[in-house]
């Protein structure tokens, strides 16, 4: 089946630790995105990539980093600089950045130990 | 259908009734709109979209209405079923500099009573 796979589903981070969230898509989409979802708030954009080897900061990029070495993969690293990392993280992809829907994975829930 | 703080507005309907979920969007320059359904612990699922040159679009059991004059979007679900229970939120595509951005609403919880 075509889709977006995020792993792991649950992740725990210790103080001072970097953790990496995986996102893989087999939809042949050029654009990929990372969002953060907190209770009662709309999705907030962390980073996005319109094409391989290129990515841009979103609205809340501080404390996060990404890479886009392959079209299918867009991993997100939550660094120790992110002081409030507890959230539900969603990866999405779309054909392009025009008027096409973004399709989402099932998320990773990150908590602090 | 906009939320305040941590509390999502809730729409409670009886199974078989029609549901109408509303969304006010922010930017009159937005030209594309999407409705998503999100079940607990899962990612948002695309339902239907509409471009700003249309005012109505129908899918299977769902209809989206767009009123650009008052910047209002609604999602109508016909013959609501228990499986429709979820959080529904809208997104608008708005131009930001040389690119576009999706702005997401906070959502409405639809609770279907059997």
Give B29 to chain A, closest Cα distance, Å. 13
Question: How many other C-beta atoms can be found within 10 angstroms of the C-beta atom of residue A33?
Answer: 25
All residues of chain A having their beta carbon less than 8 Å from the beta carbon of residue B101 are 45
Name the residue of chain A whose CA is nearest to B30's CA.
A99
Q: Report the DSSP pairing between strands B86-96 and B108-113.
A: antiparallel
User: What mean pLDDT is predicted for residues B95-101?
Assistant: 78
Mean pLDDT is lowest, of A59-63, A81-85, B48-52, for: A81-85
> Which chain B residues touch A101 with a CB distance below 8 Å?
34, 46, 49
Q: Give pLDDT, residue B34.
A: 97
Rounded mean pLDDT of A64-73? Answer: 98
Tell me what pLDDT residue B6 has. 52
Cβ distance B106 to A41 under 8 Å? Answer: yes
pLDDT more than 90, % of chain A = 83
Least confident piece of the model among A83-92, A94-103, B96-105? B96-105
Q: Closest by alpha carbon to A40, among B85, B109, B72? A: B109
> Mean pLDDT throughout A82-88?
93
Least Cα distance to B109 among B3, B10, B18 occurs for B10
Q: How far apart are CA A41 and CA A35, in angstroms?
A: 12
CA distance B78 to chain A (A): 23
User: How many beta carbons lie within 10 A of that of residue A75, not counting itself?
Assistant: 17
């Amino acid at each position: 089946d075509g889709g977006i796979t995020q792993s792991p589903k649950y992740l725990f981070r210790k103080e001072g630790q970097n953790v990496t969230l995986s996102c893989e898509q087999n939809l042949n989409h050029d654009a990929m995105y990372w969002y953060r979802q907190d209770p009662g708030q709309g999705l907030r954009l962390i980073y996005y990539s319109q094409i391989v080897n290129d990515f841009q900061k979103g609205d809340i990029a501080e404390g996060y980093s990404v890479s886009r070495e392959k079209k299918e993969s867009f991993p997100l690293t939550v660094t120790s600089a992110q002081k409030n990392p507890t959230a539900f993280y969603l990866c999405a992809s779309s054909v392009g950045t025009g008027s096409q829907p973004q399709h989402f994975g099932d998320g990773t829930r990150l908590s602090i130990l | 259908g906009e939320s305040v703080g941590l509390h999502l507005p809730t729409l409670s309907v009886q199974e078989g009734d029609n549901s109408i979920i509303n969304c006010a969007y922010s930017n009159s320059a937005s030209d594309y709109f999407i409705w998503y359904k999100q079940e607990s612990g899962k990612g948002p699922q695309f339902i239907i979209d509409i471009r700003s040159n249309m005012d109505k679009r129908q899918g299977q059991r769902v209809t989206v209405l767009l009123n650009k004059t008052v910047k209002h979007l609604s999602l109508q679900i016909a013959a609501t079923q228990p499986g429709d229970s979820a959080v529904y939120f809208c997104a608008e595509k708005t131009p930001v500099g040389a690119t576009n951005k999706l702005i997401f609403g906070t959502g409405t919880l639809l609770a279907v009573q059997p």
